[in-house]
Amino acid sequence: MTGGIAAHLVLTLLVCAVAALALLLATFAVALRVGRYSVVDTVWGLGFAVVAAAAFLTSLGHGDDTRRLLLLAATVIWGVRLAVHIGLRSRGAGEDPRYADMLEKAPGSPRTYALRKVFLTQAGLVWLISIPVQAGMFARGRPGAVLVVGAVLWLIGLVFESVGDWQLSQFKKDRRNRGTIMDRGLWRYTRHPNYFGDACVWWGLFLMSCGSWWMLATIFSPLLMTFLLTAGSGKPITEGRMAGRPGYAEYIARTSGFFPLPPRRRPVS
């Protein structure tokens, strides 16, 4: 990487950081106005779309145009779909129990705690996780097999996540399913098809961005996203809330926790 490209990359990283921070601060203002901090969940996906657009604009004249357009389109499609899904799912609902529980235990001002713990943290995560997209705008290598593999993996993840979300929403709409466990469709093969799809999307974006050897330094992004989904704010919290439901222990015993696998016939002791 030449000095000129490095300087433009640093500028892009700074612009994207400001864009992510501005979006989450605006979301915090909206949350205070509507009295519901969970609006931040809807903006999570939009944050990545905004950062990708900012990176695309500030990197004009650099990198490979095909790669840049693919990274922009793939990130925006994923982010907007996720935002629309969460927005529709939470429409008319009250505060998410996760945030209500957290703020009940907040030391000092709940507003200040929410700003620091939720909104500023998410702004930082959006910027950090999207670094492959930002840096990939400057990769000069011609698109090849690695980009194709990444695009295929991204598409698999998007389909998996979208279908899983749609199947769960249809299941919840049927009143006959109240009090039962969703174990149909993709949910028969993994307890978290949406999280698995999410991880595939970000591994795909990482591979799509790898047009130069120095891009390997950004592998922390899909690793971090996978950690958050499997051991951070994703799977553990979701399963903790579901643990008391009738039949959930049996569902865990027969269904893979992340990677899609055929259901086990007998519970594993």
Domain residues of the chain, as ranges? Answer: 1-140, 144-269
Q: Over the chain, what is the mean pLDDT?
A: 92
Which 3 state secondary structure label does DSSP give 54? helix
Q: What is the mean pLDDT of residues 161-180?
A: 93
Using one digit for the tens of pLDDT, what is the confidence trace for 188-217? 999 999 999 999 999 999 999 998 888 899
pLDDT for residue 269: 36
Using one digit for the tens of pLDDT, what is the confidence trace for 66-101? 999 999 999 999 999 999 999 998 887 778 778 888
Which 3 state secondary structure label does DSSP give 108? coil
Q: How confident is the model at residue 268 (pLDDT cuts 50, 70, 90)?
A: very low
Beta carbons of 236 and 191 less than 8 angstroms apart: no
pLDDT for residue 201: 98
Q: C-alpha 225: how far from its chain's center? A: 7
Other CB atoms within 10 A of residue 86 CB:
20
How far the first Cα of the chain sits from its last, in Å, is 53
Give the C-alpha separation, 45 to 47, whole Å: 5
Q: What is the mean pLDDT of residues 240-248?
A: 87
pLDDT for residue 262: 95
